[in-house]
Structure 1
Amino acid sequence: MTHTNKDVRESTILQVMDEVENSPFSINRYFKGKETPFGRAQYYLYKKALRERGVEGLHDQRSKGNNLKFTSGMKNFVKSLLENNRSISSSEVQNAIENEFGIAISNTVINDFRRENDLSWIRPTKERQPLNESGASEIAIALALDTGLIDAITDSICLCVQKKRESETFKESVLIQKDNPDLRSKGKFTSEYNQLPQVRESRFKPLEDKVGDKRFASMGIFSLSRESIMRYTLALFSLPLVTANGRVRSIDNPRGNAG
């Protein structure tokens, strides 16, 4: 670009910017209603350049340093890169150009090049995870279901629950009031409490020994249906499977090719 052309370019930019500043219209409306040599987005770039570097900031920098144009050498490099792997993103191509040539090319230029050369991005194919054996736990679950063991355990639990519900102890426990419900809902076990001798001694004792007057009606198992109890039973049998024999700490993690 000759010196005269540079002066004309800068003069044109400054003239348009001055008109925008003194226009009674908003910036957005001005650029929508008038034919201008550059758009609203470029206006803000020029304004920033003027503020930071003065008129020098309006010079065409494409022939210097990192503002070099997208050369034929770069195009051949990118074409070879994309023909080998169409799944590379434009950002990755941009980084590759910068590493190879030390020049930053915008993603817009790269996207236009891809479109013009029929090298648009292709979504990478995900490899399906192979189905692996989960150990002997699958055999145990299959046998438990096929032989009716799950049903037998469920029926046994339901029978115990029903017998307890019909017992005098259960009927009497209905009359027992909750002890300190407000304190229990807001309280918490402290380290000092857990270190008390009586607490440490009774830690592994049966519930009957810990709580003399147990309010059975408040226990969740007495409100469960047979189907719910069966699901709990099956869940216990499934723990080795869903936790990969204890290697997975959460049973919420998806397994196999889910999703």
Structure 2
Amino acid sequence: MQINLSYLQIKSLIEEAEKILVYVSRDASADGVLAGLTLHTYLAGLGKKPALVYPAEIPSEIKDLSGVQAIEKSLGAKNLVISFDYTKTEVEKVNYKVDKGKFNLILQSKKPIAPSELSFSYTGRDFDLIIFLGVTDLEKLNESFEGEDFYLSKPSLNIDNKVTNSFFAKVNLVDPKASSISEILATLFEKFGRPLAKKEAELLVLGLKYATNNFTIATSSATFRAASYLTKILEKDKGVESMQESIEVSKEQISKENFA
């Protein structure tokens, strides 16, 4: 995995985007879903507006984890579109007002628009960047997308560890030697230089454990480097907690001495 060559490009993609879709393959294991949760939490911490889609049942071993409520099964059609023949109406102004709880869309046109000329439909949400986790090719996508145009028109990042990956995205981070997607993300986050939060590190450690059967299969030196990086974050967090507890105890002792 040539992460030294690609991570700056990936970092730039994320920095330039605001609304980001994280799409986890329907074939993903607990590792892929945990990686998706980690990325969703990480992006939210950057001030982004992420959405997390996993079009399958959440694996039983992680369904009770905190944060899984953020997972959606599909993008959903949430944008109402009102259409009419613009060439015949010559709309001059569009406005709206809310009157007694009712939303009124006001179109000012040179020629009146008959109700029969209006049509209504729904479309999915729009995103500045799509990040695919564990998706090997476009054929693995399902009805969550409104056709290939939805994907082709967006900046995209493909993260996977399968040798069958077709490198279909605009930027591809694929490492068949990696034990898991969690391992790839841990390595990527370390390169980014922004410290992970405790929750994010915990999710990735879980992903590594599920993918390697608690580090007994499919491991490499890179796997243990990723685990070491994540463990240091958790140990540092424990150290901070211990320090805070020590400070609170010291404050209590000082208070007792002052009033003794």
* TM-score, with structure 1 as normaliser: 0.17
Query: Which one has a larger percent strand, Structure 1 or Structure 2?
Result: 2
In terms of Rg, which structure is larger? 1
Relative contact order: is structure 1 or structure 2 higher (C-alpha 8 Å, sep ≥ 6)? 2
